Structure 1
Amino acid sequence: MTEKLRLKIPVLLPEVTDERDQCLTRMETMLGDQDGITEVHVVTDTAPSTLCIHYEPGRISLQRVRELAEAAGARLTKKYGHFLAKVSETSHVGRARSRAERLRSIEGVLEAEVSGAGGLRVEYDRDRVSEEALRAAIGELGLHLSHEYAERRPGSRHERAEHVEHDHGEDAHPEQESEHAHRHGNSRAELGFAIASGVFLLIGWLLPKLVALPAEWMNLLPLWAAYGFGGFFTAREAFEHIRNRTFEIDFLMLVAAIGAAILGQWVEGGLLLFLFSLGHSLEHFAMARARRAIESLSDLTPQDATVIRNGSEQVISVDDLQVGDRVRIKPNKRVPADGFVVEGESAINQAPVTGESVPVDKRPVDEPERAAKHPESIAPEHRVFAGTINGEGALTVQVTKRSTDSALARVVQMVTEAETMRSPTQEFTATFERYFVPSVLALVVLLLFAFMVLDETFSESFYRAMAVLVAASPCALAIATPSAVLSSVAAAGKSGVLVKGGAPLEHLGQLSAIAFDKTGTLTEGEPRVTSVEPYRDTTSAELLSVAVAVERLSDHPLAAAIVRHGEDSPGQVTYEARELKSVTGRGVRARIQDEWVLVGKEDLFDEAEGEALPDDLRQRVRELETSGQTTMIVRRGERYLGAIGLMDTPRETAAAMITRLRELGITRMIMISGDNQSVADAVAKHVGLDEARGDLMPDDKVRFIKDLAEHGKVAMVGDGVNDAPAMANATVGIAMGAAGSDTALETAQIALMADDLSKLPYAVGLSRKTSAIIRQNLWMSLGMVAFLIPATLLGLNIGPAVALHEGSTVVVVFNALRLLAYRDSHS
């Protein structure tokens, strides 16, 4: 059972001298409202000042805290480490849990989790325990590290953790295949031993009925063999638990079987071991299937790539590819690395990464040098992802990320970490077990001495106690939630939806409201100039020339649209602007010659010094906004030059997505925007939303999300970059287009890999299906325990009790596996 630890995590603050600093206040708010973070405060008696974060490792990982801190503008010190790996020999949830408990007992280990699918996460104090000592401890527990992930560092995307071992070329396959063969070989051996136990048990039961043997021990020979085969893996696990000072169901079953043998009930003891070993082997098989669904993601990337170096082509391992390399991709071959197209045209099947059902046309970028410097600004028609499948055309692609930093590699790493993050239901079942198991053991002790007050023999009391012990073991309860969460996370990952753990998965299905950012979420995010309104004696050319000079210094999407339009318009005059200053949420100002030029919304001019906005220009701006256009007013010195209207096209899929969410029961959906209310209302009406909030600054969005969260669970859907503070304050933060954005991939709790809203109803539907299956599993497991305890007290034998006990466990696991095949019926 994992305790809820609260740890002080020092965070370095960038150039903060006053703890009342406004940025610092926003940082505290953003982090403090995150689920799993209990307290955030400033420590000023250190140099430099630090922001102390108290968090619960069972609910939020150190890596997630690091990502949130970086998004908020701080960075974690290197005092605490985060070790993430895939391990073998953990296909049983109980076995994984006992290994995690042993790891948590190590001095310096703050939190450790091992999942039934082989995910291992350890958070530790580097001053108290080294990574080498951790590896040694993991090995002593019988866990084989099949793959280790780099610990991502803020501000250094390509920095590698020293402990990561790289596979090169063909050498990667034999080791990986050996590990797979070892794991599957053990599963087959366990199933074979269980079947052999059943065969010998049947022979031992029939033999005395069919043949009269001269000695009693001859009748017992097949039953001894049944004990040997059925108890081999059970005994091995039990003795390992004893050595690790833990007691699991394996030990209890072994004690019950030995007790049955002592009482001369060899057939019932053999039946117990046979059914238990059979149930375990089937459970391992089922969990291995879920594990393979996750592992299949990492198998998508090819091992080799054809790289062009020094004018010639050569085949190298994808691990040896460097940023800036150019690779040749033949028709119908998988893309080896993330990058952008520099030669050729083709249609690429991106379903393995983004879940998009239709191939996406790709063509070369116009400016390769600019694309290489700003890879996150590359348009979708130029960008390619590792693991996707090329179509009929040959392509030359320039690499923007190493193989370990690709979108697919990041997804696999985050899915592995998500396996180890407990959901609220898992916390509940763990708390229940903490009180339930000691209560059962106390009942068993009382039953052992029942012969002293009841008219029965010690053998009868002992037998009943063993039957209750077997019946009350919460095997199905322990696996009810993890198996469902694991299957759901795997299914989502294969469909282009990254879910970071059980908590956001459960919360997504319980939403009462969803807030959507406008720009780039409900709209295409590519605004275009639709109106140029010069004021009085100003010409259109002058208005655009001045606006372009200033906006060329900005990286805002509206600025880029104005620059594009101006450069394509006739009569342009080139001005040189300097000293650009941004006024958050309102606009920008810069100098042209000796005059200040202001470009922005109406509010900018209401607050600025100088000539007030003329009423007739204000009226024209209102008319443009009423038609759904975003307006940028331009003033040079004291002279108003006019206004520029822009419009961002609503996404074609937005209206259908809103309709589908309503069908799923999401009753309240709101669009929030920094645009004025008229523009927000126009876009909301177009996509089918009844509620829109405009004129919201970033802080206003945070406050609005907080207000929504007071009335129920709320999701915030955005791009994960500009919306990071609002997303952090929502119950669930959802980012779209995450495959092309490192920031979105890190800040969101749920990431839609494609720049496509249609996956949101799929994610909500999957979450609700998962919650339904978890409820079914809990009712099944708790109901079976509630039935078996009184039934065994009233005389139900061990054999039927074990059959029902193990049967419920297998049913629970296979019920959870149905999630692997989940499809949205409206997709």
Structure 2
Amino acid sequence: MESNHKEHTGCDHDHGGFLGKNTELIFSLLCGALLLTGFLLNKFSSWDNTLYIYIPAYFFGGYFAAKEAFEKIRQGGFEIDFLMLVAAVGAAILGKWAEGTLLLFLFSLGHALEHYAMNKARNSIKALGSLSPGTALVKKNGTSEEVPVENLEIGDTILVKPNSKIAADGIIISGQSSINQAPITGESIPVDKHAAEDPEKWTEFASVPKENKAFTGTINGSSSLEIRVLKLSKDSTLSRLVALVSQAEAKQSPTQQFTKKFEKIFVPAVIALVILLCFAFVVVDEPFPVSFYRAMTVLVAASPCALAISTPSAVLSGVARAAQAGVLIKGGKALENLGSLSAIAFDKTGTLTRGEPRLTNVIPLNGISREEFLSCILAVERLSEHPLARAIVRDVSEMPEIPVNGTDEATDIEALQGKGVRATYAGETVYIGNPALFEEDLGHILSDGIRDQISGFQEEGHTSMLAKKGDTFIGILTLMDTPRASAKTTLKALRDIGIRKMVMLTGDHQKVADAIARQTGLTDAYGDLLPEDKVNAIRKLREQETQIAMVGDGVNDAPAMANSTVGIAMGAAGSDVALETADIALMDDKLEKLPFVIGLSRKSRNIIRQNLFISLGIVLFLIPSAIIGFTGIGPTVAIHEGSTLIVVFNALRLLAYKR
């Protein structure tokens, strides 16, 4: 899938034709062959009709340049290729057919090689689109039928054989397997997936749990799967990813905007200079053909083709390299801005933390054994649907103290207005809840020892719960949304590459924010923030740091992302909102890719600067050289086209970038 929003560089044009995609290269080589034939005949024979050789050489060498130039003129624009054509025609008028043919040969050969190199970068993006299989096995009425993926409908059940590509975004309804998700998320290790327990309740692809979700273009492992289609082929995550990466080429970076403005002033100035040089014979004692030849040489020397291609080639290569690693960068502006960051603001939940509470402390009280305490807690919380209860059940069930055959059953559970629960267990009433439940609702006075322990945990950002069975407090539980395993090392890596300020913006209590900051190494943490408070915090940070990124989930943090220099969405695979709102999307949920993508951006900025230096330096050398007659048309066009190839191949180095 290729975007129609293709960046026009001024030197780039359609190079296909009736001889296939290599038509331009074939035409260029034919021009070169005729040029060599004419030279040899002129050198070693007395045949005077070499014009019959050079005229077809002009056709083959100038065909694509003329085609593009006239198309641009018809649209009311002005094409750099047109300057080359004028110079070649000027050489012919002077009778210098060999030099004109050399100009067109080198120019067309340079373009053909440039297109080959640029297509290498574009093909890295197109390769993503080819990951999607063309057909799918649809299961209907007990039989399977192979159909084109375009004909799949939402609700269809597809059969995915072992070691084959998955044909649609959907939910796994049967089977379990390890799936290679590298095409979408860049993950190098296959991810274990299994069928959803209640697949009927999931109708929106974005909300499907990760362990039950399957992406188009990912590769199934060694077991068969059945998947219910939740997205049409044209709307799949892969299709959107390819389209957005392709369109990124059209979004101009600050450097591209600079070069466009420069060209608008530079090209008319060159034309004015060339016209003046045509009349140099009036001032200087020389014949008109000499002045005209010099003017044509300057015209070739001043063509800013290398300048026009220098930034788009680097942007395209950088975006393609990021896509290979599972990172979507939406254009040159985002790519360049990312490399200039000095500060990053993070959302907490799901970004720096796991996004789900974990059981952090289990403290039995009053001589109760740990096993007895946990058995009671597990029996009661199993009956609750509260998120904290589910987290407790999940973590307690994994503990070795819990018998394999489970515990006694609890009954008569009752939720107590957001403060906790009451139930009956082993013939006694059990309360589990926050301190306010016992002090305010039940009128108990907590001992100094219990109060001090709970206060200590709360200072560290833990959610604390007390449990009472009958007349006895049997223990304390604490839960916390714990930092990602990679958070601390990622923040250290960011600090090592020069990110001075790393702050957290969260709606959670300030004590929770401070606790996460201590554990991860953040420079600052701001808690108790509403969405509009996050926007104000970003604005204040921009006044201090000028270039700041906001990292979040792309949904709740969209306003803050919009006010930052660069918005970065975590875990954007499958999330349409995240893909739309962010400038940069980490397709998987891996925070540790941030240093890689910032390093890639900085490398891209360096290559863009190198390319600008090369392209402008060559032009500044060639124009005076042409004016004083130091270089003729042949050497000038050779150096000119050589500089264009240098900047393109320099940009292609980004495709091999590794941190």
TM-score by length of 1: 0.69
Q: Does the aligned pair in 2 maintain the 1:541–1:572 contact within 8 Å?
A: no
Give 1:204's aligned residue: 38
Q: Does the aligned pair in 2 maintain the 1:259–1:466 contact within 8 Å?
A: yes
Give 2:612's aligned residue: 778
Give 1:41's aligned residue: none
Q: 2:67 aligned with 1:221, yes or no? A: no
For residues 674-714 of structure 1, the C-alpha deviation after alignment (integer angstroms, 9 at most, x for no partner) is 33344333333333434333333333322222221112211
Could you say what secondary structure the match of 1:671 adopts? strand
Please give the alpha-carbon distance, in whole angstroms, between the structure 2 residues aligned to 1:723 and 1:806: 47
Give 2:412's aligned residue: 573
Q: Which residue of 210, 218, 225 maps to 1:388?
A: 218
Please give the alpha-carbon distance, in whole angstroms, between the structure 1 residues aligned to 2:636 and 2:377: 84
Point out where structure 2 has 5 or more consecutive residues left out of the alignment: 367-372, 398-405, 423-432, 468-474
Give 2:490's aligned residue: 657
Please give the alpha-carbon distance, in whole angstroms, between the structure 2 residues aligned to 1:93 and 1:497: 25
Q: Does the aligned pair in 1 maintain the 2:166–2:215 contact within 8 Å?
A: yes
Q: Name the aligned partner's letter for residue 233 of structure 2.
A: S
- Cα gap change, 1:478/1:669 in structure 2, threshold over 3 Å: closer, same or farther? same
- Cα gap change, 1:721/1:243 in structure 2, threshold over 3 Å: closer, same or farther? closer
Q: 2:622 aligned with 1:788, yes or no? A: yes
Q: 2:286 aligned with 1:428, yes or no? A: no
Give 1:761's aligned residue: 595
Please give the alpha-carbon distance, in whole angstroms, between the structure 2 residues aligned to 1:546 and 1:744: 38
Could you say what secondary structure the match of 2:147 adopts? strand
Give 1:485's aligned residue: 315
Give 2:425's aligned residue: none
Q: Which residue of 122, 125, 138 maps to 1:291?
A: 122
Aligned ranges 1:316-331 → 2 under 5 Å = 316-331=147-162
Q: Name the aligned partner's letter for residue 390 of structure 1.
A: N
Q: Does the aligned pair in 1 maintain the 2:16–2:24 contact within 8 Å?
A: no
For residues 187-222 of structure 1, the C-alpha deviation after alignment (integer angstroms, 9 at most, x for no partner) is 412111111211221222232222223xx3x23333
Q: Does the aligned pair in 2 maintain the 1:551–1:562 contact within 8 Å?
A: no
Give 2:370's aligned residue: none
Q: Which residue of 575, 600, 612 maps to 1:741?
A: 575
Could you say what secondary structure the match of 1:300 adopts? coil
- Cα gap change, 1:309/1:219 in structure 2, threshold over 3 Å: closer, same or farther? closer
Q: Which residue of 273, 288, 292 maps to 1:462?
A: 292
Could you say what secondary structure the match of 1:94 adopts? coil
Please give the alpha-carbon distance, in whole angstroms, between the structure 2 residues aligned to 1:601 and 1:234: 80
What is the aligned length?
627
Q: 2:151 aligned with 1:235, yes or no? A: no
Q: Does the aligned pair in 2 maintain the 1:720–1:747 contact within 8 Å?
A: yes
Give 2:430's aligned residue: none
For residues 452-488 of structure 1, the C-alpha deviation after alignment (integer angstroms, 9 at most, x for no partner) is 1111121111111111111111111111111111111
Please give the alpha-carbon distance, in whole angstroms, between the structure 1 residues aligned to 2:598 and 2:388: 32
- Cα gap change, 1:407/1:183 in structure 2, threshold over 3 Å: closer, same or farther? farther
Q: Does the aligned pair in 1 maintain the 2:384–2:390 contact within 8 Å?
A: no
Q: Which residue of 496, 506, 509 maps to 1:676?
A: 509
Q: 2:278 aligned with 1:448, yes or no? A: yes
Q: Does the aligned pair in 2 maintain the 1:534–1:543 contact within 8 Å?
A: no
- Cα gap change, 1:268/1:618 in structure 2, threshold over 3 Å: closer, same or farther? farther
Q: 2:134 aligned with 1:337, yes or no? A: no
Give 2:470's aligned residue: none
Aligned ranges 1:29-40 → 2 under 5 Å = none
| Larger CA deviation: 485-494 vs 569-578 | 569-578
TM-score by length of 2: 0.85
- Cα gap change, 1:819/1:566 in structure 2, threshold over 3 Å: closer, same or farther? closer
Cα shift at 1:430: 0.8
Please give the alpha-carbon distance, in whole angstroms, between the structure 2 residues aligned to 1:390 and 1:184: 40
Q: 2:563 aligned with 1:729, yes or no? A: yes
Q: Name the aligned partner's letter for residue 345 of structure 2.
A: A
Please give the alpha-carbon distance, in whole angstroms, between the structure 1 residues aligned to 2:179 and 2:339: 33
Give 1:369's aligned residue: 200
Q: Which residue of 666, 670, 687 maps to 2:499?
A: 666
Q: Does the aligned pair in 2 maintain the 1:447–1:464 contact within 8 Å?
A: yes
Cα shift at 1:492: 1.2
Q: Does the aligned pair in 1 maintain the 2:173–2:226 contact within 8 Å?
A: yes
Q: Which residue of 93, 112, 133 maps to 2:9?
A: 93
Q: Name the aligned partner's letter for residue 765 of structure 1.
A: G
Q: Name the aligned partner's letter for residue 287 of structure 1.
A: M
- Cα gap change, 1:238/1:676 in structure 2, threshold over 3 Å: closer, same or farther? closer
Q: 2:91 aligned with 1:256, yes or no? A: no
Q: 2:125 aligned with 1:282, yes or no? A: no
Could you say what secondary structure the match of 1:696 adopts? coil
Provide the identity percentage. Answer: 54
Cα shift at 1:630: 3.5
Could you say what secondary structure the match of 1:415 adopts? helix
- Cα gap change, 1:374/1:526 in structure 2, threshold over 3 Å: closer, same or farther? farther
Could you say what secondary structure the match of 1:649 adopts? strand
Give 2:304's aligned residue: 474
Give 1:810's aligned residue: 645
Aligned ranges 1:103-122 → 2 under 5 Å = none
Larger radius of gyration: 2
- Cα gap change, 1:780/1:571 in structure 2, threshold over 3 Å: closer, same or farther? same
Please give the alpha-carbon distance, in whole angstroms, between the structure 1 residues aligned to 2:46 and 2:641: 34
Point out where structure 1 has 5 or more consecutive residues left out of the alignment: 1-83, 97-115, 117-142, 144-180, 579-587, 593-598, 603-607, 635-641
Q: Name the aligned partner's letter for residue 806 of structure 1.
A: E
Q: Does the aligned pair in 2 maintain the 1:235–1:250 contact within 8 Å?
A: yes
Give 2:402's aligned residue: none
Q: 2:636 aligned with 1:801, yes or no? A: yes
Give 1:417's aligned residue: 247
Q: 2:653 aligned with 1:823, yes or no? A: no
Please give the alpha-carbon distance, in whole angstroms, between the structure 1 residues aligned to 2:334 and 2:32: 43
- Cα gap change, 1:502/1:633 in structure 2, threshold over 3 Å: closer, same or farther? farther
Q: Does the aligned pair in 2 maintain the 1:548–1:566 contact within 8 Å?
A: no
Aligned ranges 1:350-749 → 2 under 5 Å = 350-370=181-201, 372-373=202-203, 375-530=205-360, 552=386, 561=391, 571=410, 573-575=412-414, 621-631=454-464, 645-710=478-543, 711-749=545-583
Q: Does the aligned pair in 2 maintain the 1:187–1:284 contact within 8 Å?
A: no
Please give the alpha-carbon distance, in whole angstroms, between the structure 2 residues aligned to 1:249 and 1:374: 50
Give 2:27's aligned residue: 193
Q: Name the aligned partner's letter for residue 741 of structure 1.
A: S
Give 1:106's aligned residue: none
- Cα gap change, 1:400/1:183 in structure 2, threshold over 3 Å: closer, same or farther? farther
- Cα gap change, 1:745/1:545 in structure 2, threshold over 3 Å: closer, same or farther? farther
Please give the alpha-carbon distance, in whole angstroms, between the structure 1 residues aligned to 2:232 and 2:69: 44
Please give the alpha-carbon distance, in whole angstroms, between the structure 2 residues aligned to 1:531 and 1:232: 77
Q: Does the aligned pair in 1 maintain the 2:9–2:309 contact within 8 Å?
A: yes
Aligned ranges 1:141-160 → 2 under 5 Å = none
- Cα gap change, 1:600/1:431 in structure 2, threshold over 3 Å: closer, same or farther? farther
Give 1:752's aligned residue: 586
Cα shift at 1:783: 0.7
Q: Does the aligned pair in 2 maintain the 1:698–1:726 contact within 8 Å?
A: yes
Q: Name the aligned partner's letter for residue 450 of structure 1.
A: A
Give 1:151's aligned residue: none
Could you say what secondary structure the match of 2:356 adopts? coil
Please give the alpha-carbon distance, in whole angstroms, between the structure 1 residues aligned to 2:19 and 2:604: 31
Please give the alpha-carbon distance, in whole angstroms, between the structure 1 residues aligned to 2:198 and 2:62: 67
Q: Does the aligned pair in 2 maintain the 1:541–1:571 contact within 8 Å?
A: no
- Cα gap change, 1:575/1:630 in structure 2, threshold over 3 Å: closer, same or farther? closer
Cα shift at 1:618: 7.3
Cα shift at 1:407: 1.2
- Cα gap change, 1:91/1:726 in structure 2, threshold over 3 Å: closer, same or farther? closer
Please give the alpha-carbon distance, in whole angstroms, between the structure 2 residues aligned to 1:503 and 1:722: 24
| Larger CA deviation: 515-524 vs 481-490 | 515-524
Cα shift at 1:368: 1.4
CA RMSD of aligned residues (A): 3.8
Higher relative contact order (Cα pairs below 8 Å, separated by 6+ residues): 2
Could you say what secondary structure the match of 1:726 adopts? helix
